[in-house]
Amino acid sequence: MPINPGADIEVLTLDRVPPMAQGYVKDLRVRWALEEAGLSYRESFLPGVIGGDKGSAHLESQPFGQVPIYREAGLSLFESGAILLHVGSKDERLLPSDELQRARTTAWMFAALNSVEPFAQSLFLVGHVSENKSWHDDARDAVRPFLQTRLKQLSAALGDREWLEGNFTVGDLLMVDVLRSIAEEALISAHPNLTAYVERGTARPAFRLALAAQLDAFERNERETA
Amino acid sequence: MPINPGADIEVLTLDRVPPMAQGYVKDLRVRWALEEAGLSYRESFLPGVIGGDKGSAHLESQPFGQVPIYREAGLSLFESGAILLHVGSKDERLLPSDELQRARTTAWMFAALNSVEPFAQSLFLVGHVSENKSWHDDARDAVRPFLQTRLKQLSAALGDREWLEGNFTVGDLLMVDVLRSIAEEALISAHPNLTAYVERGTARPAFRLALAAQLDAFERNERETA
């Protein structure tokens, strides 16, 4: 079990988030990668709630007041993509050491974070800011097709393969987490191969352990301050 | 001059884009990095226009029908972030070989592409889809503050430093290109240090050469088919 209070690697996340965000906070990606690699880590917590003002200590380590933050022997690292590159460099199952394979893996990491997630995020953001406005449905209907196009393209690229590029890598880890976080389930289920891909990813023991660890931490923190 | 028809490195982009996109197509990032590193490349062109249906040859090399695509000795690579990681690995001025410095550089690469650009893109997308709609201004006004927050945080993180992390790296290259592409100039000029940062980045000879090469290619392609 990689959570170990004496571990060198430290993963910082928020101590509490709203119930709907639990299970989707991005420290999950880092916990998942560490579980895949069998690397122990300890947890630390910064004052939540998401969207609230962040303390200066938080902003010093994470300029955008986000989580996770990763610390290890002189290194303080932010952005889950960068953390996964770093963790991947410790385990070639996650990030191949072969130069060409590694480059292709990073292409899928950036694709998840820069070509798919932003359109999911735009759809979410537009829905969020238009709550109770007359243009709520119009705005979501206008933005949704951009995400749908990306999912259709991703489905075509995946085809009937198990993972995006040979074996499971941090590229798949990020893509699966981006896809599972899309709130409108119908967008994914329109593509049976994407549904199966997300199921394969989230069925991995390392994912299960990472998710349980995140949920457990929120529950524990809540209990301790109740 | 890095453009050389006999070069091993090939950069593929679109043969034509609408005038407003010229100078902002993302092959610029790759041209810029190659100019910084002094690495020769040859250009190839895929049928534009942006937003049009992409041919199957294009989709085979770039699942989302985007550009640039980078090719070199057995490697076909997409996503400008991944390409810049790869080019950076050839020149430690762009991506430090020291493990901790390299990790910090990648944090800024992902920050540019996953924490800043998506909010700029959401603002652009919302404006685009709401053109001539009654909710155009409301939607933009509702989305804009999220980008403003990120720019304020970035400004605070940069402070009075010349570059984000020591010397100029591919992290700065991506961040400067993201910032210069934000259409609402007032969002940047609200932060004099960001204005100066973009000016420093775009004053670099390598940026000037890359921009000229992109504009020249569009002009040449247009003339040849006129």
> What is the SS3 string spanning chain B?
CCECCCCCEEEEEECCCCHHHCCCCCHHHHHHHHHHHCCCEEEEEECCCCCCCCCHHHHHHCCCCCCCEEEECCEEEECHHHHHHHHHCCCCCCCCCCHHHHHHHHHHHHHHHHHHHHHHHHHHHHHHHCCCCCCHHHHHHHHHHHHHHHHHHHHHHHCCCCCCCCCCCHHHHHHHHHHHCCCCHHHHHCCHHHHHHHHHHHCCHHHHHHHHHHHHHHHHHHHHHC
Residue B53, pLDDT above cutoff 90: no
Question: Which residue, among A195, A221, A160, A168, has the nearest Cα to A32 in the 3D structure?
Answer: A168
pLDDT, residue A75, reads 96
Cα-based torsion angle of the residue sequence B183, B187, B190, B191 in order, rounded to the nearest 10 degrees: -90
Contact A85 B103 (CB under 8 A): yes
Residue B154, pLDDT above cutoff 80: yes
Chain A: closest CA distance from residue B147 (Å):
11
Listed in sequence order, the residues at least 6 apart from B165 whose beta carbon sits closer than 8 Å to its beta carbon are B101, B104, B105, B108, B171
Average pLDDT, chain B: 95
pLDDT, residue B55, reads 78
Contact B133 A135 (CB under 8 A): yes
pLDDT, residue A48, reads 82
> Are the C-beta atoms of residues A143 and A126 closer than 8 Å to each other?
yes
pTM greater than the 0.80 cutoff: yes
Q: Is A155 on the interface with B (CB under 8 A)?
A: no
Mutate which of B26, B114, B148 to test chain A, going by most A C-beta atoms within 10 A? B114
**Could you tell me which chain B residue has the CA closest to the CA of A134?**
B135
Contact B130 A117 (CB under 8 A): no
pLDDT, residue A49, reads 62
**Could you tell me which chain B residue has the CA closest to the CA of A150?**
B64
Number of residues that this document lists for chain B: 226
For residue B75, list chain A residues with Cβ-Cβ distance below 8 A: 99-100, 103-104
Name the phi and psi angles at A54, rounded to 5. Answer: -95, 145
ipTM of the complex: 0.96
Cα(A8)–Cα(A5) distance, integer angstroms: 9
Question: Which residue, among B174, B202, B177, B184, has the nearest Cα to B147 in the 3D structure?
Answer: B184
Mutate which of A115, A116, A152, A165 to test chain B, going by most B C-beta atoms within 10 A? A115
What is the mean predicted confidence (pLDDT) over B6-31? 96
Handedness of CA B59, B65, B70, B76 (dihedral sign): negative
Q: Is B84 on the interface with A (CB under 8 A)?
A: no
Q: Is A77 on the interface with B (CB under 8 A)?
A: yes
B11: helix, coil or strand? strand
pLDDT, residue B50, reads 52
Number of residues that this document lists for chain A: 226
What is the mean predicted confidence (pLDDT) over B87-96? 98
Q: Which of B104, B113, B153 sits opposite A110 (nearest CB)?
A: B113
Chain B: closest CA distance from residue A71 (Å):
11
pLDDT, residue A46, reads 93
Tens digit of pLDDT at every position of chain A (226 positions): 689 999 999 999 999 999 999 999 999 999 999 999 999 999 999 988 655 667 788 898 999 999 999 999 999 999 999 999 999 999 999 999 999 999 999 999 999 999 999 999 999 999 999 999 999 999 999 999 999 999 999 999 999 999 999 999 999 999 999 999 999 999 999 999 999 999 999 999 999 999 999 999 999 998 987 6
For residue B64, list chain A residues with Cβ-Cβ distance below 8 A: 111, 115, 150, 153-154
Is the bond leading into B49 cis (omega within 30 degrees of zero)?
yes
pLDDT (tens digit per residue) in B112-147: 999 999 999 999 999 999 999 999 999 999 999 999
Cα B97–B94–B162 angle (5° rounding)?
115
Contact A106 B115 (CB under 8 A): no
Name the phi and psi angles at B131, rounded to 5. Answer: -55, 130
pLDDT (tens digit per residue) in B199-216: 999 999 999 999 999 999
pLDDT, residue B164, reads 98
pLDDT, residue A92, reads 97
- Chain B, 112-151: which have a CB under 8 Å from a chain A CB? 113-115, 117-118, 121-122, 125-126, 129-130, 133-135, 138-139, 142-143, 146, 150
Q: Which of B79, B86, B150 sits opposite A111 (nearest CB)?
A: B79
